[in-house]
Amino acid sequence: MGLLDPNGKIAKFHVVIEIIDNAMKNLPPLRAVAAFEACYRLKSFTRAAVTLNVRQPAISHQIRLLERDLGTKLFTKHGANILPTPQADDLYLSVSSGLSEIARGSERVRRRGSDDTLSLATYPGIAAFWVLPRVARLSQGGDAVPLRVTTADRDADIPLEDFDCAILFGDGNWPGYETTLLVREGVTPVTAPALAAKWRNQTPQDLLQSGPLIHLEAPEARWFTWADWQAERAPEAMSVNTAFTVTNHGIAIQEALLGTGITLGWDGVIDDLLARKALVRVHDDPIRSERGYYLVRPRNLPESDRHEWLFEALHR
């Protein structure tokens, strides 16, 4: 290398630059890659030109450049459209993945670098019935942090690296992330006051067999179900009513608020609704587990006042 200090720092830096430079040399012309992506996706040079706001000859020129760089044919004419070759199919997998990753990284930098907004990911029901009401109360006192909430039904649809933090359900084990328990899982049957008056004094067995139960068909079978409640509170019940089934806990809560039926409500999520008597417990003895809802954030990050603000809001 020829550039060494006693600690070898300059040499190490020089090697890194050399590796990056070699990687860049292997890249085809980036304008040609953009033209290729649009042509492949739209199956037309003309439509690609409109999308990229250039004239069609410019697109044709970029595709020829790319074909020359790669040494292979990428498209064949088929009437007014174009058909990708097998080589183009293979290239598009990498191009699409790379561009998606660049877009995600850019959006992440925009969100984190443009202002002090705290980005939070969680489930729709948690956002609607737990996070937002508490944040609103704290904000009314003038102590507010801009909050951006993104929701998804499945953990698999929440890329943790894209957010400052998340509220997720589980056992507290998210490798690479710090977790703080917000509330343990505790579940009781709840419904609107009018319907609760009918079922409040019924036995758990009668409730299971005859009550208009709202079942949650979750994409990830991790939460308690009516079958779990039956096993702990009324194992002698011969059947379980199946009046309604929904796929989202927020919808289940909303239907219970409307008096449509009786749903299982999770501690934390339903606390405000119980306090306002919008929902009423039909049975007072919750079933519990060692799981719970956790505040999840990247490990080894400096303590943030924004996270402390959110934690305070969630415990109001």
The residues pairing with 287 across neighbouring beta strands, listed in sequence order, are: 187
What pLDDT is stored for residue 219 in this prediction?
67
Which CATH architecture group holds 116-316?
3-Layer(aba) Sandwich (3.40)
**71-108 pLDDT tens trace:** 999 999 887 789 999 999 999 998 988 888 777 776 66
Tell me the C-alpha distance between 39 and 33, whole Å.
10
For residue 304, what pLDDT is reported?
A: 61
- Written out in words, the top-level CATH class of the domain with range 9-113 is mainly alpha
Which residues in the chain come in under a pLDDT of 70?
1-25, 106-115, 139-144, 219, 300-307, 315-316
Domain boundaries, given as residue ranges, for the chain: 9-113, 116-316
Asked if 246 and 255 count as a contact pair (C-beta separation under 8 A), the reply is yes
Q: Compute the distance between CA of residue 103 and CA of residue 109 in angstroms, rounded to an integer.
A: 10
